[in-house]
Amino acid sequence: MKNQFLIENLNQLAQVDTTWMDDVTFYKNNRNWLDRSAKIALKILRTLRENKNKAHHPNSQKELADTMGVSPQYINKIAKGTENLTLETISRLENVLNVQLIELTNNYLITNTYEQIEFEGLFSFSSQQQIIEIMIMSQQEMANWSNQAGEYSYAMAA
């Protein structure tokens, strides 16, 4: 092997780092919410930039933090796109920024006609906005609803 001395030297100097392998495993196990978190972060950042161009409020992470009553560091963590956000935080962000960050498709309802009837019977909704409102119900409400609706709670929380 050429440069044997250098390679042995590097083997001695170098610290073995396998943390990037842990990152691969972490991503594999958490892919769904990580990808969503990244998309939410991007939507927030693009909205702030658009607000800045139009001189609307809030137009910076600092202003967003102040309006929400949270620390700028927390907003900065969200903007990285790796924060596991609660529905409550998402809703607050949506209200302050006046944008929709998550959206439920109608696929679930369309492909589960029978369940749709039951589901509609329970909540009598007619628009996506109302679905979002159902999603931010309290834990107790969710537990009660879960008991009635069985597996649908999983579909809503996903």
Partner 1 sequence: MRIGAIFAIQQSTLFSVAYDNELMEFKRLFDLWISEIEYLENFFEENKDDLNSNFYGSISIEEAIERTRKQAIGFRKKFLQLIQEADPNKLQSIFRPLSNSSYQLKSLSKEKSKADWLRIYAVRISENTYVISRGAIKLTQTMNERPHLQAELQKLEITKRFLIENGLTDESDFGFFEFEP
Binding site for partner 1 (CB under 8 A): 1-3, 5-7, 9-11, 13-17, 19-21, 23-24, 27, 35, 38, 41-42, 45-46, 49, 76, 79-82
Two tokens, residue 101: 């960050």
In whole angstroms, how close is the CB of 117 to partner 1 at the nearest point?
Answer: 36
When the beta carbons of 43 and 118 are compared against partner 1, the nearer one is 43
Nearest to 152 by CA among 101, 125, 98, 116: 116
In whole angstroms, how close is the CB of 61 to partner 1 at the nearest point?
Answer: 9
In whole angstroms, how close is the CB of 108 to partner 1 at the nearest point?
Answer: 23
When the beta carbons of 18 and 127 are compared against partner 1, the nearer one is 18
Distance CA 93, CA 101 (A): 8
Q: Who contacts 60 (Cβ-Cβ below 8 Å, separation ≥6)? A: 48, 52
Counting Cα atoms < 13 Å in the Cβ hemisphere of 94 gives: 16
Nearest to 96 by CA among 56, 39, 136: 56
When the beta carbons of 16 and 110 are compared against partner 1, the nearer one is 16
When the beta carbons of 37 and 156 are compared against partner 1, the nearer one is 37
